[in-house]
Structure formats: structure tokens, C-alpha cells
Structure 1
């Protein structure tokens, strides 16, 4: 099973998202990616956030741990805090799938971008139950 880390950066009622092709119908997603061999979880997330968004971050609390069994992936998401960088300062080819946009999106617009109401509610409520194993990704609305 592969390990994937993603970061949730929420500032002023907005969440940082990427617009790029995904394995599903939704094109907007949380920034993050695969943990490379020999890399720590926080090291991988700091690297992925910088590569995909242009933002430098500190890794905070564990929000959730989920299985994505169809893709054979362990999905781990952390809260992050911006420490520097410039949103959208992304080099072409930084990801295997081209990144069309990097934007802060109001939390009340998440469902219009294809996120479930459940995920939008978790974001708005500050991820109650954070730090827990949640089972399948669908348990958190992804």
C-alpha cells in the first residue's frame, strides 16, 4: 500500500485547493502527494505543498487517516499553517498532472466545486474527531 499525504490550509474562511485532473469527476483537490522512500510524513507534505502551491508550511495536527482501498493508498491529511511562499508560484511540470490553478476557495463554495456537504461541514466545524482513523475516504466525504 502506498502512502499519500495532503494538507488542509484554511485562512479567513477559505481553503487552499488545486485545480487539476484527478482520478474522479472532481477537478479541485487538496494539495499533497506520495511519500517518497526514506521521507517522513511531514517532510513529504512540506515538499508537496511547496511544489504544488508555492506555499511554505508548518505541519500541524493530524486531521484524519483513511483507506482508499481501490487505489491501494493510505490517505493521511494534516492541518498546515502557512509560513511563507507565494500562492500559485508553481513551476510547470511540478506535478505529473498539470496544475491549472491554485486558489483559496471560500468554504461555502466547496460543494459547487464537487466536494460533498460532509467534507464542507468538517472544514467549517474545524474537523471534529480529528486525529482518528476514519476507515474509507468516503467517511470524511471524499
Structure 2
């Protein structure tokens, strides 16, 4: 019979590659861009972004994902806002890097090849934060964004195991 881990023991790491994800906090003065997408039968609000494809640099993935989900073209990539490290049965060893970007141009339109993004909007910060707070997105997707927008320090690393903060 296999041994079970006590609640205080660390789980054995999953063998194999992790998942790299990039996200963009697209800011214009006191407004930010959010995307609404279909995921697991729900409609959620989140920042634009997605998976880094094999052979792609982080900046290339960010530019591609922003273009696909928002129609906007990134100029320069802004500073790293925060990092989220999660692990779950569905997505083991995921690292999400969120960059704050204010150098972008174009008109908002959706060109999502995955056909998950429903709409993209530029909203006043307080309205965007309310939508994020009520979103059905996972805790690791929402909590760090809200803390950052509320004035948390930059370059903070957030860690979650199965959507719960890791100690």
C-alpha cells in the first residue's frame, strides 16, 4: 500500500516540463484592459495573456498573446509587475509572469485563434477591479492582480498549490 503524505509533508514533484504563461497589465492612465473569455463552461474576466509556445521567448509570447486577445500592438515591454507560481493536478509547475505595459497602440478587437476570448475592454481602474474581484477566474489569477493594483510592491512572487496560498 503506498504511503500517504501528512498535511505538513511536501508532495513529491511532478516529473516533466512546467507551463510558462505571460500576462499583460495594459494600463492607460487610470484605465486597464481586461478580457472576458470562456473557460471550463464559465465566462471569466482576467488580464490578456497565455501560454508561451515551444521555442518562443517570453516577450514574443506576450506580444503575440496581446495581439490575439486584444488587437493591440505592444511597443516596449514594461517592467515585470509580479510572478505567480502555481501547481495543480491539471497544470503542474506553472509560472506566470505579468508585465505592466503602457506603450501600446491600435484599436481593441479580438483575433483569438483559440476562440476563447469573448470581448476585450478598456475600463476605469475601479470598475476593472470590481469585475476582477467578482470573476470566476482562479484565485492565483485574480488575487495578485488586485493586490498589485491596490499598491502592493512590484516583483513580488505569489505561490499557490491547488489554488491555496503556499506557505
Is TM more than 0.5 here? yes
Partner of 1:35: 52
Higher strand share: 1
Aligned length: 134
- Residue of structure 2 aligned with 1:99, choices 117, 124, 136: 117
User: Following superposition of structure 1 onto structure 2, how do residues 56-71 of structure 1 map, counting pairs within 5 Å?
Assistant: 56-57=73-74, 58-70=76-88, 71=91
Q: Does the C-alpha gap of structure 1 residues 62 and 23 become closer, same or farther in structure 2, counting only changes over 3 Å?
A: farther
**For structure 1, which segment, 42-51 or 110-119, has the greater mean C-alpha deviation from structure 2 after superposition?**
110-119
Q: 1:43 to 1:112 in 2, by over 3 A?
A: closer
Instruction: Look up the match of 2:96.
Output: 75
Write 1 or 2 for the structure with the bigger share of helix: 1
Task: Report how far residue 45 of structure 1 moved.
Answer: 0.2
The alignment status of 1:131 with 2:155, answered yes or no, reads: yes
Point out where structure 2 has 5 or more consecutive residues left out of the alignment: 1-17, 136-141
**TM-score normalized with structure 2 length:** 0.69
Question: For 1:68 and 1:121, how far apart are their aligned partners in 2?
Answer: 17
TM score, norm. by length of structure 1: 0.79
Query: How far apart, CA to CA, are the structure 2 residues paired with 1:103 and 1:138?
Result: 29
Residue in 1 that maps onto 2:8: none
Query: Structure 1: any 5+ residue segments left out of the alignment?
Result: none
| Counterpart selection for 1:111 from 122, 127, 130 | 130
Are 2:144 and 2:158, in contact at CA under 8 Å, matched by a contact in 1?
Answer: no
2:22 alignment counterpart: 5
- Contact (CA 8 Å) 1:64, 1:76: kept in 2 or not? yes
